[in-house]
Amino acid sequence: MKTVLITGATSGIGEACARKFAQGDYRLIITGRNSEKLSALQKELEAKGTEVMTLTFDVRDRKAAIEAVKSIPAEWAVIDVLINNAGLALGLDKEHEGSLDDFETMIDTNIKGLLTMTRLIVPSMVERNHGHVINIGSVAGDAAYAGGSVYCGTKAAVKMISDGLRIDVMDSAVRVTTLKPGLVETNFSRTRFKGDEERADKVYEGLQPLTGTDIADTAFYCAEAPEHVQIAEVLILATHQANSSMVSRDTNRNEHLS
């Protein structure tokens, strides 16, 4: 049985990936900051027959990440798939007016957290000549949009870091995939707007956004591709979204959303 380690598994894309890979006969190592949510997901999936291990830590805390990975028992230590999902956006202010604390949190989570987990997990993949890294980037990494420069910059970094890793491991059978979702209706916008539900809902108004399950399905497809196939990058957009800033909205569509 294969093992997948998923960061940020307590909600959104990470939680959806946990459910999808559980259905695909993987055993799971799920990580996140909220131990209660991790435990609840663990119990739910174990009740359906999936082996689940939880690790509670913040990817921004390098020491905690190192200790968490060290705590993985030997029988769980062979990780076949690493999904670097933990990430967030904070605020939509102009760069010269934004919060430095928000900037730091995004950089520490989206870039440095991803690098920490990659550094901790990938060496053993290379040594075994087997493994797959799936990094959750964003369409926002393709071009900046108003108020999103720092977040966009972190997701552009995810693409570059993924591309560089793919070069670094190309002599091995380790594969590297970047998934770049567009508008996905999760807690993402509520986090960005710090709990402002009304403002968050407007992000998805007038179109049917993607779901975490849509992205999880794509991640699973990439992981299950034949060993000689490396799906390097996938851009996934809602039907009425053209890129990070161009969206066609029609409030009448809301009547038909499921």
Selecting among 26, 151, 204, 221, the annotated active-site residue is 151
Helix/strand/coil for 56: strand
Structure tokens belonging to residue 148: 């999103």
C-alpha radius of gyration, the chain, whole number:
18
Tell me which DSSP letter residue 139 carries. Answer: G
Closest CA to 33 of 133, 139, 108, 121: 108
Chain-centre distance of CA 80, in angstroms?
Answer: 17
Chain-centre distance of CA 46, in angstroms?
Answer: 22
Q: What is the CB neighbour count within 10 angstroms for residue 146?
A: 10
HEC assignment per residue over 20-65: HHHHCCEEEEEEECCHHHHHHHHHHHHHCCCCEEEEECCCCCHHHH
Per the annotation, the verdict on 204 as an active-site residue is no
Q: What are residue 28's phi and psi, to 5 degrees?
A: -120, 140
Cα–Cα distance, 9 to 26 (Å, whole number): 15
Structure tokens belonging to residue 258: 């499921």
**Catalytic site residues?**
151
